[in-house]
């Protein structure tokens, strides 16, 4: 069973977005792009590196380059569990 996005963020994961530029299999002189997103751990980025390995083994289009960014959305100190809510007029 997978973890929710909030659980992943509390464990230090951040959203990683990668843009893959690759050669088209039938037209090697033509470049195309593919965008990938997943929650990953910086600075090692194991999920991104795993996807790159998958691409190299299973996808026919040879990679030209990969550009990525990583954003840690929430840290453990920023999260509060609320047990009640009060409204003031």
* Three-class DSSP labels, the chain: CCCCHHHHHHCCCEEEEEEEEEECCCCCCCEEEEEEEEEECCCCCHHHHHHHHHHHHHCCCCEEEEEEEEECCCCHHHCCCCCCCCCCC
87 pLDDT more than 80:
no
Q: How confident is the model at residue 2 (pLDDT cuts 50, 70, 90)?
A: low
Rounded to whole angstroms, how far apart are CA atoms 30 and 22?
Answer: 8
Indicate the domain borders of the chain.
5-74
pLDDT tens profile 32-78:
999 999 999 988 999 999 999 999 999 999 999 999 998 876 655 55
21 pLDDT more than 60:
yes
Locus of tokens 């795993």: 50
79 pLDDT more than 80:
no
1 pLDDT more than 60:
no
């Amino acid at each position: 069973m997978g973890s929710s996005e909030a659980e992943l963020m509390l464990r230090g994961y951040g959203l990683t977005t990668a843009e893959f530029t690759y050669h088209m299999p039938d037209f090697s002189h033509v470049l195309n792009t593919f965008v990938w997103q997943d929650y990953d751990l910086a600075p090692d980025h194991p999920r991104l590196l795993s996807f790159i390995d998958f691409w190299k083994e299973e996808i026919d289009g040879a990679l030209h380059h990969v550009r990525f960014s990583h954003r840690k959305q929430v840290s453990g100190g920023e999260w509060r569990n609320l047990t009640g809510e009060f409204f003031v007029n």
